[in-house]
Structure 1
Amino acid sequence: MLFDWGSIKWHVTPGSVPGASSTLGEVVINPNKGHDRHQHPHSDEILYVIEGEGRQTVGDGPEFAVRAGDAVWIPMGTMHSTFNTGWRPMRIIATYTPGGAEEALRDVPGFVELAPGEHPTWAVADVKPE
């Protein structure tokens, strides 16, 4: 799954693994990018940052810093967002319990799904110094 802020590769979903009741995937958030606040009405989410650093929101609490080694629990129905504040891609393992919340991501504006075996290609904008 590709978005204007990065990509997600789902490794286990109820739709792709017979009998699976949860979802597990890797999220890549590009530098200086993030996703809008949203919620998963029927799933808890856990995020585990494996590389990079950023800002996280959960519910009405204050924004807080996250970095490699941090884990964040997001109760079902709770608004949240993640933003990469670093210079390199931020990599996160994400889980949904119960699984299936990933299907709603198909409705996000600009969503693109690559075929199995295809990989995203990110390009740097042609910026000329003034």
Structure 2
Amino acid sequence: MSSGNFFVQTNEVETMMFDWGRIIMTCTPEITGSSGFSAGIVEMEPGQGHDRHNHPGAEELIYVISGEGEQMVEDEEGNPIVSTVKAGCTIYVPESRFHYTVNTGKEQMKVLVVYSPPGSEKELRKLPDFRLIPPAQQPKG
């Protein structure tokens, strides 16, 4: 897919699969030509979530679309701040700050993530449980 796309469907891009869920990046410099951020949808099944991690040099914005979970973001001193989050909640993760998300609900948890600057999504490909599903294998719709 060439850069400069203004409208991107999730079934038109590859899906990054992990043991805890999946990420579908729909806005990256390679897909849309964006230069200041990247964005995508993260889906986690009940009881699943990702481990504590950070994105060196990048801020992250997380918006809970559906479901509920537990979100941790460390403060300036490295102390974990934990909160229950649900649909409609926005979470700000400052640059390089450690954080995690876990689906504590009974249904799938879906969140929109935004990284600024873009690039954190490329680092995810280095994780040991990373698997890639090409767009051609995505369900239509």
State whether TM-score is above 0.5.
yes
Q: CA deviation at 1:75?
A: 0.6
5 Å matches for 1:25-40? 25-40=40-55
For residues 6 and 19 of structure 1, the distance between their equivalents in structure 2, rounded to whole angstroms, comes to: 25
Other-structure match for 1:23: 38
Tell whether the 8 Å contact from 2:25 to 2:40 is kept in structure 1 after alignment.
yes
Q: Which residue of 97, 109, 120 maps to 1:101?
A: 120
Identity level (%) = 39
For residues 21 and 70 of structure 1, the distance between their equivalents in structure 2, rounded to whole angstroms, comes to: 23
Tell whether the 8 Å contact from 2:71 to 2:84 is kept in structure 1 after alignment.
yes
Please report the TM-score for the alignment, with normalisation by the length of structure 2.
0.81
Q: Which moved more, 1:54-63 or 1:111-120?
A: 111-120
Other-structure match for 2:73: 58
CA displacement 1:58-112 (0-9 Å, x = unmatched): 0123311000000000011100000000111100000001111100000111100
Other-structure match for 2:133: 114
Other-structure match for 2:13: none
Q: Runs of 4 or more off by more than 3 Å in structure 1?
A: none
In the superposition, relative to structure 1, how do residues 19 and 51 fare at CA in structure 2: closer, same or farther (>3 Å)?
A: closer
Q: Which has more strand, going by share of residues?
A: 2
Q: Are residues 1:89 and 2:108 paired?
A: yes
Tell whether the 8 Å contact from 2:41 to 2:110 is kept in structure 1 after alignment.
yes
RMSD over aligned CA atoms reads 1.3
Please report the TM-score for the alignment, with normalisation by the length of structure 1.
0.87
Could you tell me which runs of 5 or more consecutive residues in structure 2 were left unpaired when the two chains were aligned. Answer: 1-15
In the superposition, relative to structure 1, how do residues 90 and 19 fare at CA in structure 2: closer, same or farther (>3 Å)?
A: closer
Tell me the secondary structure at the aligned position of residue 106 of structure 1.
helix
In the superposition, relative to structure 1, how do residues 19 and 34 fare at CA in structure 2: closer, same or farther (>3 Å)?
A: closer
In the superposition, relative to structure 1, how do residues 15 and 31 fare at CA in structure 2: closer, same or farther (>3 Å)?
A: same
